[in-house]
Structures are given as C-alpha cells and as structure tokens.
Structure 1
Amino acid sequence: MESLHNHKIHIPLFSLFFLLLHFSSLHFLSLAYAQPDKYFVNCGSKADVNLNDRVFTADSSSGFLCSDSEKSRAIESTNQARNLYQTARIFCNQSHYEFTIAENGTYIVRLHFLAFSSFSVNLSSALFDVSAFHTVSNFEFKLLNNFTAKNSSNSALIEEFFLAIGPGSLKLYFTPQGSSFAFVNAIEVFLAPLEFSPQNYSSSFPLVLRKTYRVNVGDQEITPDDDKIWRKWEQDDSYLSDLNPAKEFRSSKEPDYEGGEHNNLATYGFVGADNDSIAPDLVYQTATLMTDIPKGLSSPFNITWSFSVRADARHLVRVHFCFIFGSPGSIVFNLYSNGNFIKKVGGPAFGLYWPFYHDFVLSSNRSEFINISIGPSKDTTYNNSFLNGLEMLEIIEGQALSNPPASVCNMKGRKKIKVGLVVGSVIGGLSLICILIVGILFGLKYRKAKHVETSEWSPMLAVGGGSTHSRLTDGTITGSPMNYLNLGLKISFAELQQATNNFDTKLLIGEGGFGNVYRGTLLNGRNVAVKRGKRDEKGSGQGFPEFQTEIMVLSKIRHRHLVSLIGYCDERSEMILVYEFMEKGSLRDRAAGGIIHRDVKSTNILLDENHVAKVADFGLSRSGPLDETHVSTNVKGTFGYLDPEYIMSQQLTEKSDVYSFGVVLLEVLCARPAIDTMLPRDQMNLAEWGMLCKKKGLLEQIVDSSIKNQIDPSSLRKFSETAEKCLQEDANDRPTMGDVLWDLEYAFQLQQTAKHREPHEDSTANASSAFVLPNIQRFPSVSSTINIDDLALPGDDELDTTEVEVFSQLRVGDAR
C-alpha cells in the first residue's frame, strides 16, 4: 500500500478561480448589481429610444460595449429624425458587446443595420463578419460572413438568430474584413418565452438558427407591433409558384389554444400551440387553400411556395396549421418538400380552431431553392389542403474554442457601483471562500486517506463522487500545460457510474485496445456510449496520449459524419470518454484536411438510428504539418487495413487512410472481414483477394449474395473501380478522399437511376412535378472512366431529418 504522504492534495488554479466567481456571486446577492436577461441597445447613441414598448439604452452608458476609443466611434445620420436608426457604432478593428446570461434557455438575438450616409462615412461600403461566443461552453458561432447591409430599398436589415445557451457571458464580435469596417445600429438579446421550445430535446452540441423566412400565409404582412416577441411576418404572395390554384381564407374566430394542446396531436407528430408566442393569432386566423379543381383535371393538384436558399445549407422548417374551415375529420392532405413526402395532415384527431405546427429539417442538396407544397391525400373525402404560416431557419453549427477571440474592453462605460458595496461584497465573499476551501481541503484529505488502501481494478459503489483531481488540467505526460482542453465537457465520475449502473457488464457494447465501451444514460435522459480506459497498474502513462488526443481533436470539430464527443472524465486516474450513442452499431455489423485517422475500418464507422454513418475512435489520429507531405511515425493501425507503403516506409500520409477506406468498400461489397484466417491462404486478405478477382473479371462472384441481384451492373462497375483506385500500392496513384466521394455519389446515382426505371408506388405520387427542381448533376472525378450509357438522371432531393421537433433542440435544460 502506498503511503499517504505521496498523495498530495492539489486544487488547480482554475478551480480556485471558479470558486471565487461562483461563491462571490451567491454571497450578499441582494447587494450586487444584477442585469435581467433582457437587453436592448441603441448603438452609437447617447440617448435612449423607445420602439414597440422596448427601451433601447444608449451603448455609450450601458456598459455592454467592449472596445477602446481607437477601435470604435459613434456616428450620426444626416437625417435628423429621432429614431433607432439615427445613429450607429462603427468599428475599425475587432470589438464586441458583452451580455450577462443568468439562466438556461433559448435566446433571441436581433442585429439592426441601416446603411445610411453621415458626414464622415457611407455605411453601405462596410464589409464585416459577426460572431457569437459563449464563455462557459467555449463555443463560437459565425452569425454573418462577409456581410454588407447595402440593399436596393435603402431600408433597415434585421438579422435574427436563436441561441441555446446557459449561464455565462454572451459576446457578440464585429470583425471588419480587410481594410473595411464594421457597424451596427441596434442590438436585442432577450430570453424567448418558455413555450417557444415545447419539448425538452438536448442536442449533442450547441447550435444556432438564423431566420431566413417567416411568412404569414393567406393574408397581409404582420408587423412587430402585432407580435408578442416583435417578429415580422411577410405576405406569402411573392413566394407562390403559381397563384391560380391558391385562394385566401380568413376567419374572425380566435384560435383555441387549449384545444391545440390536445394529447392526440403528439401521436401524429404535431405539437399544439398553447399560446400566441408560437405565432400571432393573425397567422392562425388566415390561410391559403386550394381553389376549385379546374374542369378536365381529374387528379388533385398542389399549391407550392418556392424559397431561395444558400446551397449546401441545412434548414429547419416550421409549418403552422389551424382548421378554420370545413370539417377537420373530412380533410386530409399531404405536405411535401421538393416533391418528397413529409407529413400527412388532418383526420378525426384534429379539432376546429386548434392551432398546431410541425418541425422538420431539410438539406438543400446543392440546390439554391427549397419548395414547400401541399396537396390532397387519397384518404380525404374533401379534396382540399391549406397552410397558415411558415418559418424557415438556417442551421449554424458552432465550433469549440480553447480561448475567446481577443478584444479590448472599455471599462469606462460600466455601471457605477458604490465602493462600499463592492468592498463589503468582496470581503464577505472571500471570507466564505476561505472557510469553504479549508473544508474542501480537509474533506479531500480525509477521503484520500479512506480510499488509498486499495488500488485494485474493480467496480466502485455508485454513491461516491471521488476526487476531482485532473491530470488534463495539470499537464501532459511530458509536463506541458493542458489548459486548452474544453473543461466544459467534463463529466463527474459519479454521474458516469450512475449512467452505466456502476459499469454493469450487462451494458457492455464493445471492447477495444483502449478499454471497454458501455451503454449509459445521463441525468438528462440522453443515451451515450461510455468508453472507459484500461487501468494503468504500472503508472507508465500508456494510453494517456490517445485519451488526450481524442479530446483535443473531437472537442474542436463537429461534423455530420464524425461521432460527437459529449464529455470526458479524468478523476481517480480514470480515462473515460463519452460519445453520442449510435443506435445501429458499427458498419461491420451492417455488412456482416488535416487529420489522418490512421485506423479507418468498418468497426470505427458507426450508424445512428437513421443509418447516418459517423467516424469514431481518433486515439491514433495524427495532425500532420500542412507543409509536409508525410509524417514519420511508428506503424500503428489494424492488420488488413494498413497501407502497404506505410508499413514499408513508416511514412504516414493522407493517402494511407484512402487505402484503408478501400478495404472498407470491399467489406461492404463482399460482407466478409478484412482478414479471415479460416479461408485458403490466397483468400485470407480481402484487399489482395478482391483486387485479384477484379483483374480476372470475377469480382461479381464474390459479391455478397444478399445484394448481388440488386446492384445495377453500371453501379457495380463504378463502385469496384473506386475501390481498386483506393487500393493501389503506390500512394501517388490513389485518389483523394474528395475524388472518392464524387465517384461513390456517381455510383449511387447510377443505382438510383436503375431503381427509377422500375415501376413502383411512392408516397409522393400525388405531388406535382411541375415545381420540383432537379439536383445539380454530379459527375465522377477527373480520373474516372465515363461511360455515356451510365450517366444518371437527376434525382429528387432527400429529407435530411424528419419526425423531430427541432425547435426544441434549442432548449438547454440539464444538457451538457
């Protein structure tokens, strides 16, 4: 047993600083100055302005502006009318406004811009970026990129965002581009009503929504004066693709919000609007519905709204409905996007004047348009359909930062607080902290003495919290500081014990070189995968570099096809990584620039409940220098997937991952492992055997029998050609992963074209094809062989995510 004096009690400086901030904010709370979570700022002004019952405070005295006099200045319009857009704050260098956030929730951020001319500058020439940074989560969001407020109507532009954040500071950065400058006229930051996010759904990482469209369907524009949270709703006429099949309808009866909460709606995938903060009464009292079916037209027709969007962007769409005419039980219709079926609306479960809505996510799939259509279902007894309102918001994914952007804060404008109150609060707070620290030190020492008697590797009781001592915050194995890791991702050992039922073997879902993987459920109800590192009995630190690398890599990047890191734990010499749980397991189960993964294989490609693939396990990954073509390293990886050139030369390149991915492609095609020692010697190695069969023209004979008859010959030829190029012995002969992606998408188009030629029934059969915009035609990479007969016809855009109330992803709650 190790002696007690070897276990020194160590509390990192960061922890003491956190205690200082946390407890001083609790002590003498009634004496401290506290801002409510509602901020309205009149930028560049010395006077307050009232707009729609909101008082916009002059930023010169508000204390929110963080900039020195050389970086920003206030300007005034030549127009002498006193309003919100009379003044502006311009920035020559990066500067920011800072707002205190006291509680969890969805926050609405509005930025006001009017490019007026003053005596000294014309604001229409400004070009800049705007980003948001949350201090606790350490996430940054690029709100506006290369933004200019110049527009043909010379009217104000209001950019609106929805941020899901918790307590901390929200910093809004304005960064000029090149030799230009940035400006803003007014800022709003306030907590949205609780009902705005009806269901508690925690996202795997913070996200932001940017409003692109908000439309009142069937009636005139709704101004901010008539909206509870000051939103503007446009008229829908300009977005209708064809006015002929549409007519407006209006009801004077107010929406029945209590009826809209009816539980039956949830079983149909809808949410009842329980008050007018979801949308104003005017939205639910008006609608656009179908005109009478023209004579001679036997089949139903659709109403379509067309919206211009940014290519490759993902959008959340919320559609609002309220039966304000006819009998709800007799009206059933379908909702479509770009010709794809989204949802069936109506039926006996819906009541008259009940307002309700549905959220779904769409990918534009490189198209610059999204079409939303409604049309009668074959199940209806009354051929009609309608829509009351529509909102479309672009999804902005944040990135984790180790440090906030640099900016100088001007303290002159801060609110004045009496010195006596400050001194009293600090002295009282420090006194309390001293008492707490002594108690914590004594408690930790006592706990260490109690637990140091045993060091065997065994499950621990799920009640003790243990020491929070962290190797990652102290330093790396070599002693270098690790303070750039995202401490906001830390999860206590006690919570992980509870999540996994004390690492119950019944919850074991995988084993690897690093350790065991367990299925767990966090306190907020989220399912996760918990990877617990093996115990290092010798104290050699083996495995810690992989643990460190995984956190550094995955805490800084988020991608649809990368397994997200939810958190980590390094208490009690533990090395535990917590990931999003992938419902469908690994790719192998389903087949029976800057980062080199180094261990690409089918077991490291996981599938979620929607069969979306994500790459996992970055413990062996390397971030090679961008100015070098290779990295010298000891050979690591999995036999059967290793690049032969890497084995021979120990020179790791990005093409090494390409080779490994080629093996994965053969695994998918042949449904057999990379190495099978039960087979004859010439067939043991899948890569060698597959390429031999390809050269002999026998590849079709080793294709998995369950899919052999389903693959189009042209698609199989392109797929196998792609795998062959990946598996070239000379790395220079292999394609880039970008080329591989294009070739696989081309093979997929060939397969889809073959499917479309076959007669089949589809739920979108009633959708009009008149307004469906085709995908941008994709061609294989330059190095591919193109066969004219193989060219695929454009396919329909596909839905990215369905059946989720995505607005509720913005609720924070207990989510990490």
Structure 2
Amino acid sequence: MEKLQFHKIHLPPFAALLFLLRFLSVAYSLTDNINNFFINCGSATNANTDIRNFVGDLNSSDPISSSFSFTGHSSHVTNSNKSSGTSSTLYQTARIFRTNSSYEFDIPNNDIYFVRLHFSAFSTPTDLSAALFDVWTSGSSLLLNFTGKNSSNSPIIKEFFLPITPGKFNVYFLPRGSSFAFINAIEVFPANDSYIPDEANQISSAGSKNTYRGLRSWTLQTIYRINVGGPKITPENDTLWRNWDPDDGSYENSGSATSVSPTSYSSMPNYGGNVTESISASTAPTLVYQTAKVAKPMNTSGNFNLTWSFKVDKSVSHLVRVHFCDIISESANTLNFSLHIYNNFSMLINPYEYGYQLAVPFYIDFVVYSDDSGHLNIGIGHWADTILNSAFLNGLEIMKILGNSGITLSLQEHEKKNVFIIVGSILGGLGLICILVAVFFLVFRCRKPKSIETSDWSPLTGGGSSHSRMTEGTIPNMNLGLKIPFSEIQLATKNFDTKLRIGKGGFGIVYKGTLKNGTKIAVKRSDPGSGQGLPEFQTEIMVLSKIRHRHLVSLIGYCDERSEMILVYEFMANGTLRDHLYASDKPPLSWKQRLEICIGAARGLHYLHKGSAGGIIHRDVKPTNILLDKNNVAKVADFGLSKSGPLDDTHVSTTVKGTIGYLDPEYFKSQQLTEKSDVYSFGVVLLEVLCARPAIDSTLPREQANLAEWAMLCKNKGLLEDIIDPSLKDQIDPNSLRKFIETTEKCLQECGTDRPTMGDILWDLEYALQLQQTAMPREPHEDSTVGGSAALAMPNVWRFPSISMSIERDDMPAIMDDGSYTRGSEVFSQLKADGSR
C-alpha cells in the first residue's frame, strides 16, 4: 500500500484551511433553499452573518417573509445601548411575547430539520434577562423554565434536530407566570438525510449493548460538540453553521495526551475512502478530521488511557457520536485501540475496517443512558492482546434525546399561573362579616343528606352562589362534611404502607386503603408540603363535592391537615379504559362491552354538560380518565382541569389546557372553550376503542404513528382490517359499526358547531348497541366487518403539524393551572394503574 506522506505547513496556523472551509461552506450553500428559514426577530432589516441572510421578521418586502407568520400577541424591541452585549446586528433586536404566541413556518418537505434558537438578553429598554418561559414546537417541548441570562454576555444558542412533516410548523413561546418570553433569531433548515440515523448501538450505564431503533422520530438537543485536540470552530467555517468547542478542561490523564493539528501534518481527510458510508464535510468540518488528541503508552507495559468527562442530565438517553480519522500513522493497518464508555463497556476500534487508506474519516453512533452520577465518560486506550499502539480521537458530539427525558413528547398550550392574593384587612369589617355568613351557610348546607345520583345541582362559578367559589391559594372548607382526619387515612392505608402502593405520578403516590366501615378506597397523597397540584386539588374537590352520578367517579373525602393534600375516592377495581385496550395483559373487551363503556362515559359527560344551567366542561377526556369498577361500569374521572359554564351556545375564553392527541383544534386555535371541546376528545376515544391503540404511538412507523392519519390512510386504501382491533373480528355487526363510525366522524369535525352534543352522541351509541344486539345471524364464512369499509369515511381531522413526532403512548403532558406539566400516564384521576397520581 502506498505510503501517505505528511509535510510541515509553512502558512500561518489554519489560514489556508480556513479559506478552504469558507469556500466549501459557500459551495454547500443552503441559504437559497425554499426549505430554509433564517429569521432576524424583531427587526425590519436583514442581518448578514457569514453567508446566511437572516430576514427581518418585519421586512414584508423580502420573499421569504411570506413563508412564515406570527400567532398570538407580540412586540419588538431594539437595544438602545449598542455598547452592551454582543456587537452583532443579529442580537440588537428581539421579539417579546407576553402571552402564548408562536412563529409559524410553511414546511414543504418531510425531513429531519435543524432548529436553532438564538437568545441575547440585552438590558435596555427592556431587561430581557428577566424573562422566564418555555419553548415548544408542534409536537415537542424544547426548553422549560428557560431564562436568557448569561454572565459572559455572549449569545445563548440552543440547537435541536426534529423530524418535521409538510405543512404548518410552529415554534411556541409560552411565558411563565407573569413573566414574558423573547427570541433574537431563529434558524429552521433541513439536515442531510443521513445526518441522524434511525438505528444505533445502545449502551446502558451497566455496559449492556443492543440496538436502539427509531432515532429519527425523536427530538434531539445538541449538548456538546467537541473538536478534540483542535481550536474552536465557528459557524462560518462549518458547512452547517455549527459551533465546535475545544476539549480543554473536559479530559483527564492529560499527561499522556498530545494534540495533533495541521501545523504538524498537512493531510486532507480522504472522504471518498470510506467504504461503509458516505462521509463529507457536512458530517464534520475538515478541521475536525485534521486535528486529534492522541494517547500513547506511558511505559513498557503498554497500558494507556485517556478519558473525557461531560456533565449531563441524570438518567437520560443521549446520542453520542465519536469521530475518527487516522492522521497520525505512517502506514495503514497498524492501529487497534479501545473505545470505552463509563469504564464498563469497550469495543475495538480498527480504522481500516472503514477504509484501506490513511486519513479516512468515520464515525460511530451510540445511544447511552446516563447514570446517577450526572457525568458521561468516554475514553480511548490500549486494547488487550494487541501490540503497543497509540489511540486517537478527533471529535465528539453528544445530543440529548428529549423523548426519553420525560419532558417531551408533545405540544399543548401553556397555562399561566395567576395567583390573586386577597388581603382580609383591606376588606374591613364588612368583608369579614360576609365571610362569616358564607361559612355559616355552607356548614348548614353540608349537613343536608346527599343523594347518590341527581341532576339537581348548582353551578360552580359564574352564576352560582358566592359560597361555591374558591379563591386560588386557599383550601376550600365549604364541604366540611367531606373532610377526613389524617389519622383515619393513616389507619386506612396502614400508615401509607408501601405494599399498598398502587401508583405514582406528578401529584404524588396512590395507595389502596380500607376505611373502618370496610369501604375500599383509593388515596392520592401529594408530597407533604410541596404545594404541587394545588389548583387541581381545589378544583377536584369543588367539582366532585357538588355532583353525584353513576358514571362520574365519587369523591369520598379529602384531607388538608399538616400541609397535606390528600384525596380519597371510591376504589375502581378494573382500572382505566386504557388498561383494557392496549399495553396490558388483560383479556380484550368484547364489542358489546366497549359500546356499554362508551355509553356510560357519554352519560357522565352529558350530565356534566347539561345537568345544570351552569354546566361543566371536563377538558381532559381520554381513556386514562375513564375508570371501570368491578362490573366494568364506566365512570369519568379527573376534574382537575375542569371549567364551569354557563355553556349554552357561548364560550369560555381560557388559555388552552388538555392532552396532545385529544385537544380540540378549534379550542387550541381560538382559546375559546365550549362543551364541543369535550366532544372532539371523546371522538378520539371512540377511535381508540375501535382500534385498541393509542391516539399517538411513536413506536409505529411514521405514517401510522397518528391514529387519525392512519385511519384516513387505511380508509383511502380500503383496508378496514388495518384499523379495527383484530380481537373484534367476527364480532361487529356492519350496521352497528356503520353507526359507530358515523358518530366518530361527527365528533371529529374541525368546526365545533358541526359536532353533535353529548346527548346526540349518547343516543347514537345506544342505537349502535341496539343494532349489535338485534343483529341478524350470519353464516360462518361471512366476515362481520364486510360492508363496513364504506362506513369508515373518516373526516379530514385537523392535527398539529408534525404530530407524528416523538410522543410515546400516554406519556403526553397535560397542562396544569400552576403552569407545570404532567405526563398523561400521571394524570390526576388514574387511581389504580402505575403512572397515576
């Protein structure tokens, strides 16, 4: 094999190389691609950085401006102190959001996209460092509780990789509490098709190895991008405008390491020499492959090791990419060394498996689950039973998989926490008298016996008596008859015995218990003194203490002693509807049972909507909030997000709350809540009942991940069998199926006025059950689903752009009154299954 010669470089360090890199960047130019957006936020003029042209979002004359727009309310601000912060024109303006708002982009092609967010918190005329907010996209949370503060005064750039489907793509800015959000610049452009693989080696902190699949469906965040052994590489010298930092300070055993750079060797990476995959300057800049850190034997024993340690979030999965290019050898086939992760996994690195020449770049991807140390360790060293050799590393990239971090998987609007403190001393003696009168009236009323099921109840707010209202931040005491002493709850749960623990969620731990009278109960206990979930705790008490219905879960009592927040419910022996549809070892429900459960849930929701002039909108209808007793009688649960009416033909203006996949599109866009919002969510539930799969399932191929989209696709192809639960084969009467699908279609109409009421739905479902029970007998060879294909004419269901992104089953966040997020599997009403609160 021909020996590759290396020569000393006599140019100033990196001068010729930087010129070449800039040329390559221009040649690669993506800036004219219609898929690319570079936005200078809050400015009427464009800003040119390197070769990118950031279009001012107030510059309506630029053609790019027609491809993006704003939603919500925002303002723009210009730095009035040019001497403060960075001098770049890109960071002299910003857009400020004081309510939930977004940038909306028209995405023409399906691809993996770079999304970069630029923040530079200048202080005049508005102190941007005081901002506190969240950032979401159409399907993923990107930043939570983010602030633009930066002690170095340099811009903060957050980079993400997202799979985006054609259509509208939104980047949402959601202020926390009474604060605001801001952004200086946004980049959205496609990565190379192969930049993010779909599969990678998966390494646990214990050292086990298998294959991780589905990477391209997750949202990834760049945490580290390291040019090992070399200088900082800035965006103008990278074809994809990435920053690469030097590895100073991140490696250990520095005495055994030497850095190799183009000042010593002049070889160019042999991109065409890689025989296993396509490698180019867009994989990593040339300078990354022309610099390295080398570990050499310290003594004749041949043992050597070099380790890099990076601070990462605990117990989170990361995509780790290690870059290699042999620029240190004088001949091929001389190097064998080890790559190790967490000191308990290692693999042999032989550069010549990837190419038969020197200086052939290659990289290896791993999905690594971080341990509890908060550090991720990556090293190179001596491989056992090999001759004395050197080891080298050229580059490192570490990306957090947001889908596994517990904060991602979906989009919903953010509920701002508005706490109004009422000072009694200001009200004076008159206010005190009114309060005492109200308390007296409540105590008197609570002594009246409560019927088990009645439609005679009062509205909670807006039209109800003053005693039915509760000031946020106080525990309601208008239902003293429902208060249970803490000591009695301790006795019922054997002092919260871990053996009686049946679930855990964001609110706290759920226990099974037995009262002294033998009543089986479910006890949800918040972490003592945490205050988490206070608005839901209050709302749940308010709603369930005022209503009784066979198809609504019963609140037995509550406890607010000793800074405790405890809710006590009737015990639902058969768990949630979701438990019986999928992801469970329970036997499948028959079609008749499913219809009866849907009818029961519809009765409960109809009672909420129409049981009084005030009415209640549930706002979080889904299978995990439909519970089943020992006889499979359905009961609607979780009223922590509920909103009272009056409903009529009017609407309640409110910030959006709910769960992704079930959220009413009209409510989402207008923030105007009506009872038809529950109808839309119930339509999704009906579809889940028919198909026995979740509304969003990212473990499936992308075209099947969204249930509504999948149903449309199957309908268009006439493949009804791909939609209906296989366990229902030969069970469903075609007429019953036709009526059920017709009802589902009506519920899922985009416009609320086109949807039926819950009373109409109840009638239709009862009719579908009657058709099923009176079905004509068929011959054994007849498929009960024949003739049903025409019935499955699903509507053009509105969806979030990129809804088929990384959202796993029921692990989608529900938005709470205090601005916090809780995963769907931890929602307030799951009294039995794991993941409950």
TM score, norm. by length of structure 2: 0.46
Q: TM-score, normalised by structure 1?
A: 0.47
Using CA pairs below 8 Å that are at least 6 residues apart, which structure has the higher relative contact order?
A: 1
